[in-house]
Structure 1
Amino acid sequence: MPVNHIKSLRSITIPKEVIRLVSHRTFASGAKAKKGSKGGAAADGPKASILSKEVKSTTVVGANILKDGTDPKVLPDSEYPDWLWHLLDKRLALSELRRKDVETLPYEDLKRFVKLDNRARIKENNSLKAKN
């Protein structure tokens, strides 16, 4: 049944004027782009901030996820947990962990070594099986 409908739709001719109306492009901002520019509006450059320096230094701008909420205030360092200050610390790579004595590694480094070593062995085994 659907095949018959498709065949009947193919025989319909559509005037060019209708195609022009349907395929007409518009810009969301309502303003036309300048000739010679490569897409986007002319004001796509960096915009000056409308927030004062005082507001920027006392609030976490953009951290609000609620519709009716406000941006949270910046707290003193003592109010945050200790682990937060170590998130960006550099950790040893697997090759460096392999060079060290496993018996002397701290617990966190040992845990990381086991995880990375298992991951490397799984990848190696998978690549060997894929070649065969």
Structure 2
Amino acid sequence: MAMSCMKSFRSFIISKEAFRVVNCRTFSAAGGKAKKGSKGGAGDAPKASILSKEMKSTTVVGANILKDGADPKILPDSEYPDWLWHLLDKKPALSELRRKNIETLPYDELKRFVKLDNRARIKENNVIRAKN
């Protein structure tokens, strides 16, 4: 009786493993890129813009966030605040700020120096603690 139970139990384990092998999911090498009925490379060509050059030069295309709104018009430079033109200016790195005299730095650069120096010190302490 014990032998018949062992045989049935062994066959159950084998069939369960075989079931796992049969039900393994695989993916194709193409990754689903090719579509049925499509010819190679036909869908990769850039589409022509339907907007006129005049509209592109007078409006901020794609800046509308409202469902029923329109794209905002581009205003003359005098209509925008002064700080806007300095957003993309390069700011000095920590190494440059360390070379300068701290007492002569303007407030904005001093504030940036303190922030970057604290960040560098924290990173150094983390590296030292990670090695121990």
Q: TM-score, normalization: structure 2?
A: 0.70
Change (3 A) 1:31 1:60: farther
* Cα distance change on mapping 1:79 and 1:96 into 2, 3 Å: same
Q: Secondary structure at the match of 2:43?
A: coil
User: Per-residue displacement from partner, 1:34-79 (whole Å, max 9, x unpaired)?
Assistant: 2xx4xxx623222221111110111000111111111001111111
Counterparts of residues 80-91 of structure 1 (less than 5 Å): 80-91=80-91
Match of 2:117 in 1: 117
RMSD: 2.2
Give the residue type in structure 1 aligned to 2:37. Answer: K
Counterpart mapping for 1:46-125 below 5 A:
46-125=46-125
Structure 1 regions of 5+ residues with no counterpart? 1-9, 11-26
Q: Which has the higher helix share?
A: 2
Name the aligned partner's letter for residue 59 of structure 2: T
| Unaligned ranges ≥5, structure 2 | 1-15, 17-31
Question: Which residue in the other structure is 1:32 paired with?
Answer: 37
> How far, CA to CA, are the matches of 1:32 and 1:67 in structure 2?
36
- Number of aligned positions between the proteins: 102
CA displacement at 1:31 relative to structure 2? 6.2
CA distance in structure 1 between the aligned counterparts of 2:36 and 2:71, rounded to whole angstroms: 33
TM-score (norm 1): 0.70
CA–CA separation in structure 2 for the residues paired with 1:63 and 1:56 = 12
Following TM superposition, by how much is the alpha carbon of 1:33 offset from its aligned partner in structure 2, in angstroms?
2.2
Percent of pairs with identical residues: 78
* Larger Cα-atom Rg: 2
